[in-house]
Chain A
Amino acid sequence: MRNNFADEITRLAEADERVVLLSGDIGNKLFDGFKAKAPDRFFNCGVAEANMMGMAAGLAMSGLRPVVYTIAPFTTTRVMEQIRVDVCYHDVPVVIVGVGSGLGYASLGATHHSCEDMAMLRALPGMSVLAPADPLEVRGALRAALAHGGPSYLRIGKKGEPNVHRAVPEIEIGRSLVVRDGVDVCLLALGVMVPIAMEAADALAQRGISARVVSAISVKPLDKGLLKESLARFPLVVTIEEHSLIGGYGGAVAEWSVDNGPFAARLLRMGTADAFPHEAGETEHARAANGLSAAHIAERVIRTLPPRQAKKAVGHP
């Protein structure tokens, strides 16, 4: 995703001279293209994220369109107050990008994980939170965020994520994308979990269960129309995210459904545990430890399906 981000931001900066890129001493060589095309609009702000975020606000107050980029925890939770006061209180168009979000940098340890970022950022007035599912959605989301007149947070993966789409989809803030339709269960997957939810849907299909898979992408604002329809139509709706169960996308959906229901659907949330991991391991290991592998997801869906749908499952006793 980060390579697509770097390429897309370079393209957008060529088209719009208001675009300024601030990086927190990260992305060695990643932004060489940007630096070649717009050398005066790239700033390596050093390992000084509070200043970087405040400067982004100052740039935005002066009519520019700053994009702030570093590893997710350092561009979010580390600088919460700068985001809250400088960016959101002033309601200025700063695009905050967190790379390697969730468990993307699992092997670097919990200091580099970000499983609380959305809980904190979505609580901020005026903030939009987007988590694109694949490198193509990253491009679409970046376009949407820059076109938007207020603060936004793009929560992206790292590198090598598979494409879910064939072309860059048009992203609208507040709209989710159905990437596969089905009738028995609705998987509302977020960000890097979308391809894994697709795998889970394949596994479910082999067991005779038909799953809709949605790239939720817009955590704030939510796609209320899609939520209403999904919660009314499916017996089971599942949120899947690489984020704490506290305050993330599933939390947002639960809050919304409580206030706007009742709905027929059973709502089930999958996400990371309320605990720091204390062992080494790659992203897939960390996901599995949190029940976020395709196999875990499929199994849990089958266990949770109401009896009428569960009976359809091949091999059901």
Chain B
Amino acid sequence: MSTPASSGSSGELAAVAARLRGAVIDMSHKAGTPHLGSSLSCVDIVTVAYWDALRIDPTRPDAPGRDRFILSKGHAATTLYAALAHRGYFRPSLLDTYNQDGSALAEHPGPNCVPGVEAATGSLGHGLPIALGMALAGRLQSRRYRVYVLLSDGECNEGSVWEAAMFAPAQKLENVCVIVDYNKWQATGRSDETLALAPLRDKWAAFGWDAHEVDGHDIGALTKLMRNVPNGSGRPVAIIAHTVKGKGVSFMEDDNNWHYRVPNEKEVAEAKRQLGLA
């Protein structure tokens, strides 16, 4: 199995992340689609996954021994599409067709819509159970791949997440890594006020996971944790990544209007300037 794209310095990965943010903003603007804030909050996590942690070969997207990444928060599809395109799974020009009639790239990723999409997501609370099935399969087939699952904090409202959270430690699925994009917002309110999520790390730890908290925009810290799966604890790994919704664009950061808002041309230009892409 191929190794990571870079043994990448944080600086290189930060540059990749900025490019992905630019692509994500372009897609939202051009297609007029929502969930921009949610897509931006997880860019650094997705960048570390595809450019460092995952043992993958974009030219062999179906290789049985590949590491799996499931975007359980399927509404951040543009981040996944941008990462897969820029990582070499398909040509980046396909991103221009996002959400157009007849395009492979819909607002939520469909099954096998493009190479590299491991599971269709969009309805929340589905990615982790699917990931556990993949991890059990790896064990039964004596394959040592890891399965990474990116959840949103709002998604942790779903009971199926906690069913799975109890199953994985019971089976000692130490090759599973959950990352929660804890941007503190869900669609219509503060996530901690909607349902009592906090203390989120303690919850995952109490459920039997080796649970860590990290600044979800600290590429170095994410890299260290995400590479290290399994980590010797004998338990599945949960990374509670504290993030900022809309990260990277000052006027979008922590403003939940950008869950649904679409940037206009002027805002796109300003965002790109801030990201160093202009």
What residues of chain A have their CB less than 8 Å away from a CB belonging to chain B? 20, 40-41, 43, 45-46, 48, 50-64, 66, 81-82, 85-86, 89-91
Q: In the complex, what distance in Å separates the CA atom of A52 from the CA atom of B110?
A: 21
Task: Choose from B128, B129, B133 the contact partner of A62 (Cβ within 8 Å).
Answer: B133
Task: Choose from B132, B133, B166 the contact partner of A46 (Cβ within 8 Å).
Answer: B166
3 smallest CB-CB distances across A and B, nearest first, come from A58-B133, A54-B129, A62-B137
Tell whether, in the assembled complex, residue A86 and residue B129 are in contact, meaning their CB atoms are under 8 Å apart.
Answer: yes
Query: What residue in chain A is nearest B168 (Cβ atoms)?
Result: A51
Contacts of A50 in B (CB 8 A): 125, 129, 159-160, 163
Q: Assess whether B164 is interfacial by the CB under 8 Å rule.
A: yes
* Binary flags per residue of B134-164, CB closer than 8 Å to A gives 1, else 0: 1111101100000000000000000110011
| Closest chain B CB from A99 CB (angstroms) | 21
Tell whether, in the assembled complex, residue B111 and residue A89 are in contact, meaning their CB atoms are under 8 Å apart.
Answer: yes
**Mind listing 16 A-B residue pairs with CB under 8 Å?**
A20-B136, A41-B140, A48-B167, A54-B130, A54-B132, A54-B164, A55-B136, A57-B129, A58-B119, A58-B136, A58-B137, A59-B137, A63-B137, A85-B123, A86-B126, A89-B120
What residues of chain B have their CB less than 8 Å away from a CB belonging to chain A? 64, 110-111, 118-120, 122-123, 125-126, 128-138, 140-141, 159-160, 163-164, 166-167, 170-171
Query: What residue in chain A is nearest B170 (Cβ atoms)?
Result: A46
A58 and B132 in contact, given A50-B160, A50-B163 (Cβ under 8 angstroms):
yes
Tell whether, in the assembled complex, residue B140 and residue A64 are in contact, meaning their CB atoms are under 8 Å apart.
Answer: yes
| Closest chain B CB from A49 CB (angstroms) | 8
Tell whether, in the assembled complex, residue A45 and residue B167 are in contact, meaning their CB atoms are under 8 Å apart.
Answer: yes
Highest count of chain B CB atoms <10 Å: which of A41, A43, A59:
A59
Q: In the complex, what distance in Å separates the CA atom of A230 from the CA atom of B194?
A: 58
Tell whether, in the assembled complex, residue A62 and residue B164 are in contact, meaning their CB atoms are under 8 Å apart.
Answer: no
A62 and B141 in contact, given A45-B167, A55-B167 (Cβ under 8 angstroms):
yes
| Closest chain A CB from B36 CB (angstroms) | 24
A51 and B131 in contact, given A20-B140, A85-B123, A90-B120 (Cβ under 8 angstroms):
no
| Closest chain B CB from A92 CB (angstroms) | 9
Contacts of A85 in B (CB 8 A): 120, 122-123, 126
Task: Choose from A48, A59, A82, A91 the contact partner of B136 (Cβ within 8 Å).
Answer: A59
Task: Choose from A46, A81, A86, A91 the contact partner of B130 (Cβ within 8 Å).
Answer: A86
| Closest chain B CB from A219 CB (angstroms) | 25
Highest count of chain B CB atoms <10 Å: which of A41, A43, A54:
A54
Q: In the complex, what distance in Å separates the CA atom of A185 from the CA atom of B251?
A: 74
Contacts of B131 in A (CB 8 A): 58
Query: What residue in chain B is nearest A84 (Cβ atoms)?
Result: B123
Query: What residue in chain B is nearest A58 (Cβ atoms)?
Result: B133
Tell whether, in the assembled complex, residue B136 and residue A43 are in contact, meaning their CB atoms are under 8 Å apart.
Answer: yes
Tell whether, in the assembled complex, residue B137 and residue A91 are in contact, meaning their CB atoms are under 8 Å apart.
Answer: no
Task: Choose from B130, B140, B163, B166 the contact partner of A40 (Cβ within 8 Å).
Answer: B140
Contacts of A56 in B (CB 8 A): 133
Query: What residue in chain B is nearest A47 (Cβ atoms)?
Result: B163
Contacts of A51 in B (CB 8 A): 128-129, 132, 160, 163-164, 167
| Closest chain B CB from A126 CB (angstroms) | 11
Contacts of A45 in B (CB 8 A): 167
Q: In the complex, what distance in Å separates the CA atom of A51 from the CA atom of B127?
A: 10
Contacts of A61 in B (CB 8 A): 118-119, 130, 133-134, 137
Q: In the complex, what distance in Å separates the CA atom of A85 from the CA atom of B130?
A: 11
Query: What residue in chain A is nearest B158 (Cβ atoms)?
Result: A50
